[in-house]
Chain A
Amino acid sequence: MVEKLLEVKNLYTHFFTEQGVIPSVNGVSFSVNKGEIVGIVGESGCGKSVTSLSILQLIDKPGKIVNGEVLFNGEDLIKLNEKQIKKIRGNRISMIFQEPLTSLNPVFTVGNQISEAIRIHQKVNKQQAKDKAIEMLRKVGIPNPEKQYYSFPHLLSGGMRQRVMIAMALSCNPELLIADEPTTALDVTIQAQILSLMKNLIEELQTSIIIITHDLGVVAEMVDRVVVMYGGEIVEQASVYDLFENPRHPYTQGLLKSTPKVHELEYELESIDGNVPSPDNMPTGCKFHPRCPFAMDKCKEEDPSLLSVGNDSAIKCWLYQDRKVVQV
C-alpha cells in the first residue's frame, strides 16, 4: 500500500479582480505518494502555477482559495492559520521557482539567504546555520562553497543561482519539494545538470517532488506520474509510461505531437490550433472543444467529468465517457 503524502481534493482558486472573478483553478484533485515525482503539465495560464502556490497558501490578493482541501500527511493545510502554515513552508514543503535571478533577494548574500531558512526552522546558532548552508552549497555542486557563501546573487550564473535555490529549498530536509518550472529559464546544457542534480538529491534525501513544467522532455526525464492541466482543470492523469505510450486526451495527444523528436528524420511538427482560452472567457462545455480535432456537438454543451480508466489513470473527455468507468 503506497502512502499518500499530499492529497489535493477539489481545489478551487479564484482571482477576484475589478473586471470580475477569474477562476484560475477549478476543481483540481491529485495526489503525491511518498517518494514519488509528479509532473503537472500544461500551457501557460492553465493554472499549474496557481495550483502549486495554493498548496502553501502563497496566493496573494486578489486571489483566494475558495474551496477544497490540501491534505498533507492527512492534515488540511488550508485550515491552518498563518503561524501554523509558516512552520510547514520551507521546512516540510519547500519551493523553487522559474527565474533564479529574480527569486533571490539582490541585497543579501546567498549564504545569508540559505542560513535564514535554516535558522527559521531549526534551533541552531549562527555558526551552525552557516556550516549547514555551506554543506548544502557543496551538496548542490557549487565550487568553493566557503567563498561563494558570501557571493551576492548577481555575481553567479543562472545555473549556479538555481543551485542556490535548490540548496535553500532542501536545507531543512523537506518531505515535499514543489519545483515551478525549475529549468525553463536556463540553457539546455544547464537544464540537464540541474535535473540530474535534483534527481540525485531527492534520492539521497527521500523527498517527493511536484514538478511543474510545460516541457515534456523534463517530464520524460524526471517524472513518475503526470497530471495534464488545461483551463484550470485536470484533463488527464497517467503514469509517465502510459502517457507517452498511449495518450488518451486529444489535448495530451496534441502536446506530444508538438514536441520535436530527434530520432525521426522526416516528420512535420504539429501544433495545436488556436490559443489557450483566457480564464475570464472560458468556452462552454468542454473547455478544449474549440481547439479539439474530435469535437462533437455534445462537447460544446456539456462538460465531461474526470473519470478513472483504471491503472491509476483518469481522463476528462466525452470520447471516453461511454466506457465502463468509475468516477474519481
Chain B
Amino acid sequence: MRKYLIRRLLQIIPVIFIITFVVFVLVYMAGDPVALMLPEDASEADREALRAALGLNDPFIVQYFRFLLDLGQGNFGTSFRYNQDALPLVLERLPATFELAVASMVVAIMMSIPLGIYSARKRNSFVDLFITGGSVLGKAMPNFWLGIILILLFAVNIQFFPVSGRGSLLHLVLPAITLGTGVAAEMTRLIRSSMLEILGQDYMRTAKSKGVNNGRLIYKHAFRNSLIPVVTIMGLQVSQLVSGALITESVFAWPGLGQLLVQAVNGRDMAVVQASVFVIAILVIVINLLTDIVYRLLDPRINYS
C-alpha cells in the first residue's frame, strides 16, 4: 500500500506540469490583456509600452518559463478586479465550496443508499417503479430550475429559508438539496443495479445457507460488494462538486469557487482564472487519488503493485 501511494504521488508531478502548460496556453490564446487594462483612449505607444513592461512581447517559451517561475513562488499574478494576489483570493473561496460539496454529498448519500437498496430488494414492485421513475426525474431537472423553484417555494412563499448567500446552516439547506438531488438520482440508479447484481451472486446464497439474517445479508454481505462500482462514480461526482457548482452557486449567490470563476471569466480577470483552474485541477487529482485508495480498501482483489 505504501509503495502504491508513493508511486501515485510521484505520478502527480508530471500531471501538474501538463496542467500549468494548459492553463498558460489558455490565457495566452485568450488575447491581449493590455486592451482591458488601459482606458479606451490610450494611445498605441502607451499600449506598446505596457506590453513591453509586462513582457508580453517575449517569445512564448520565455513567457511560459516566467509563468512557471512565478508559480513556484505561489504567484499567479494580480487580479485586476480585486487588486490583490489571485491565489489567496481563490483559496479563501475554498471553505464555502467545500461546505456546499460536503453538504450536497451528505444529502445525496442519505437519499441514494436507502432508496437504492430498497428498490433493489423490492425489484419490479410499485415502490421500485416509483423510485426509478423519481430518479429519472431527479436527473432530468436542471439545477438552475430546481434551485429557483426551491427558492420560490421555501424562501419566498414559505419564508423559512434565506433566499441566497452564505452564513447559517439554514443558508446551506436549499443549495445542498439543489445540488444533491441530481447526484442522488444518479447514485440511486447505480446502487440499485449494482445491488441487484450482487444479490444474485453465489456467495449471497452461501451466506443465506449459513443462517445469516436479512439485515446482515444486505448490509454486510451485499452492501460492501455493491459499493465497489458506486465509489468510482461518487469520486467523479465529488470532483464535480468541488470544482465549483457554477450554476447553483450563481443562483444562490453562494460565495464559492464557481462564482469566483464565472465572474473572473466574464471580467477577463486572467490571473484569477489561471489560479482557479490550477487549484481545481489539483483538487480533482487529490480526489481521484482518494477514490482509488477507497476502492482498494473495499476490494481486496485489487493488487497494490
Whether the Cβ atoms of A94 and B300 lie closer than 8 Å is no
Whether the Cβ atoms of B205 and A120 lie closer than 8 Å is no
Residue on A nearest B224 in the bound complex, by CB: A107
Write the nearest CB–CB distance from A146 to chain B, whole angstroms: 19
Q: Chain B residues near A120 (CB, 8 Å)? A: 210-212
Which range contains the number of B residues in contact with the other chain?
A: 20 to 34
Whether the Cβ atoms of B301 and A97 lie closer than 8 Å is no
Q: Does A212 contact B (CB under 8 A)?
A: no
Q: Does A35 contact B (CB under 8 A)?
A: no
Residue on A nearest B208 in the bound complex, by CB: A58
Residue on B nearest A112 in the bound complex, by CB: B220
Whether the Cβ atoms of A107 and B209 lie closer than 8 Å is no
Whether the Cβ atoms of A106 and B209 lie closer than 8 Å is no
Write the nearest CB–CB distance from A316 to chain B, whole angstroms: 30
Q: Which of B203, B208, B225, B301 has the most CB of A within 10 A?
A: B203
Separation of A121 and B300 alpha carbons in the complex (Å) = 27
Separation of A97 and B210 alpha carbons in the complex (Å) = 12
Q: Does A261 contact B (CB under 8 A)?
A: no
Whether the Cβ atoms of A89 and B208 lie closer than 8 Å is yes
Q: Does A216 contact B (CB under 8 A)?
A: no
Sorted nearest first, the 3 A-B pairs with minimum C-beta distance are A90-B210, A89-B211, A102-B202
Separation of A89 and B301 alpha carbons in the complex (Å) = 29
Question: Which of these, B202, B208, B212, contacts A116 with CB under 8 Å?
Answer: B212
Contact code string A24-67 (vs B, CB < 8 Å = 1, else 0): 00000000000000000000000000000100101000000000
Whether the Cβ atoms of A105 and B225 lie closer than 8 Å is yes
**What is the number of residues of chain A that contact chain B, defined by CB distance less than 8 Å?**
29
Q: Does A99 contact B (CB under 8 A)?
A: yes
Question: Which of these, A89, A102, A121, contacts B209 with CB under 8 Å?
Answer: A89
Whether the Cβ atoms of B301 and A106 lie closer than 8 Å is yes
Q: Which of A90, A105, A106, A168 has the most CB of B within 10 A?
A: A105
Write the nearest CB–CB distance from B45 to chain A, whole angstroms: 72
Q: Does A320 contact B (CB under 8 A)?
A: no
Question: Which of these, A88, A106, A116, A154, contacts B225 with CB under 8 Å?
Answer: A106
Whether the Cβ atoms of A152 and B301 lie closer than 8 Å is yes
Q: Which of B207, B214, B301 has the most CB of A within 10 A?
A: B207
Whether the Cβ atoms of B207 and A105 lie closer than 8 Å is yes
Contact residues, A80-125 vs B (CB, 8 A): 82, 86-91, 94-95, 97, 99, 102-108, 116-117, 120-121
Separation of A82 and B212 alpha carbons in the complex (Å) = 11
Q: Chain B residues near A108 (CB, 8 Å)? A: 221
Q: Chain A residues near B300 (CB, 8 Å)? A: 106-107, 152, 154
Write the nearest CB–CB distance from B173 to chain A, whole angstroms: 36
| B interface residues with partner A (beta carbon < 8 Å) | 201-203, 205-214, 221, 224-225, 298-301
With A86-B213, A89-B211 already in contact, the answer to whether A104 and B206 are too (CB < 8 A) is yes
With A107-B225, A152-B300, A154-B300 already in contact, the answer to whether A97 and B206 are too (CB < 8 A) is yes
Q: Apart from A107-B299, A168-B206, what 13 extra A-B contacts exist at CB < 8 Å?
A: A53-B205, A58-B205, A58-B208, A82-B214, A87-B211, A90-B212, A102-B203, A104-B203, A105-B206, A106-B301, A107-B298, A108-B221, A117-B210
Separation of A112 and B126 alpha carbons in the complex (Å) = 37
Residue on A nearest B227 in the bound complex, by CB: A107
Write the nearest CB–CB distance from A155 to chain B, whole angstroms: 8
With A107-B224, A107-B225, A154-B301 already in contact, the answer to whether A168 and B203 are too (CB < 8 A) is no
Separation of A241 and B60 alpha carbons in the complex (Å) = 92
Q: Chain A residues near B206 (CB, 8 Å)? A: 95, 97, 103-105, 165, 168
Q: Chain B residues near A104 (CB, 8 Å)? A: 203, 206
Write the nearest CB–CB distance from A175 to chain B, whole angstroms: 14
Separation of A168 and B213 alpha carbons in the complex (Å) = 17
Residue on B nearest A83 in the bound complex, by CB: B213
Separation of A117 and B202 alpha carbons in the complex (Å) = 16
Q: Chain B residues near A58 (CB, 8 Å)? A: 205, 208-209
